[in-house]
Amino acid sequence: MISLLIPVFNEKEAIEETIALAHEVFSKIDEEFEILVINDGSTDGTDQILTKQHPDNVHILTHPINRGYGASMKTGIRRARGDLIAITDADGTYPIVDFPKLLEAMQQGDADMIVGARTKKGVQMPLIRKPAKWVINRLVNWVTGMKIPDNNSGMRIFKKQMAEEFMHLYPQGFSFTITITLAAITSDYLVQYVPIDYFKRKGSSSMSSGFNGIKNFLFFLGLITRITTYFKPLKFFMWPSVLMIITGISYISYTLKLDANISDAGMLLLLTGIQIGLFGLLAEVVVRQGRAKRPYKCSPMG
């Protein structure tokens, strides 16, 4: 069984069409399905639209107040009955008709997660998001050690069992998708990508406008740091360790040559750098022991 999660917050212009299209598309898939619409405290009349009659396998879940995209996803994952979970937005930006293609690719590749990568020619990505997206992509590629086509696409299918493993990591806000991407890849789950279109949204968005855009960008950076220290601690601590060791040795060499004396500051930098490196090494051992408790998975890129 496959469960489709559709988080909704103030999407009165698109939600009815999104549900109808999703039901039509999944009805043609040779697989039992359900659609869970999570109304995250909408205040624009979306809740009234959602009270209309829906097919029996369309279920409306409601948060009395707005709790965030990630909170909606966690609610949906907990309530989902399917072994597979599909997600999409309610604003008309993702090509819901491509879900059968994603499901087929997932089954053929025996993947743990298949992601609709917004890389097709003509994709309508808002210009204001591109600089921040470029920075975040570079950081994510560095953390994972590979080039990821799209790290936070909101259209994907993944195994519920895998998603539940990282429930304690998912933030309440918009960073659910990048969190599950980083968590899955750095934990050696098999993640694959299928190119999809991306359309202009119906209605307005507050995510990337003004102060919200800056706040979300900074939050993404903090999230990447947190995920890196959680799954790849040695990679995170290596750079400050190496930098301090090199600086300390350089300063010691300078003072030895100039004053025939070992500088206290140089020794402090050197020893601090060594301590940071050992701390990162110890953390890496702990992480690897934790991973050894579950079966080994293939490389995320096959």
Question: Is the predicted pLDDT of residue 215 greater than 70, yes or no?
Answer: no
Same domain, yes or no: 79 and 181: yes
Same domain, yes or no: 101 and 198: yes
Same domain, yes or no: 13 and 145: yes
Share of the chain above pLDDT 70, in %: 84
Residue 301 lies in a domain: no
Nearest-angstrom CA–CA distance, 12 and 45: 6
Q: What's the number of domains the chain is made of? A: 2
Same domain, yes or no: 112 and 80: yes
Q: Which domain covers residue 9, as residue numbers? A: 2-231
pLDDT for res 180:
93
Same domain, yes or no: 154 and 280: no
CA-closest candidate to residue 188, choices 110, 298, 107:
298
CATH number of the CATH domain containing 70: 3.90.550.10
Same domain, yes or no: 109 and 142: yes
Nearest-angstrom CA–CA distance, 243 and 134: 25
CA-closest candidate to residue 152, choices 78, 208, 209, 212:
208
Same domain, yes or no: 30 and 62: yes
Is 0.85 topped by the overall pTM?
no
Q: Of 192, 211, 231, which closes a domain?
A: 231
pLDDT for res 128:
57
pLDDT for res 298:
43
Same domain, yes or no: 253 and 224: no
Model confidence at 33, pLDDT cuts 50, 70, 90, reads very high
Higher-confidence residue: 118 or 215?
118
Q: E strand or H helix at 112, and its extent?
A: none
Average pLDDT, the chain: 84
CA-closest candidate to residue 85, choices 181, 184, 161, 165:
161
pLDDT for res 94:
94
pLDDT for res 299:
40
Nearest-angstrom CA–CA distance, 199 and 207: 16
Amino acid, res. 298: C
Instruction: Tell me the pLDDT tens digit for each residue of 177-191.
Output: 988 998 898 888 999
Q: Are 160 and 78 in contact (CB under 8 A)?
A: no
Q: Of 231, 256, 282, which closes a domain?
A: 231
Residue 224 lies in a domain: yes
Q: Of 203, 231, 259, which closes a domain?
A: 231
Same domain, yes or no: 181 and 248: no
Residue 270 lies in a domain: yes
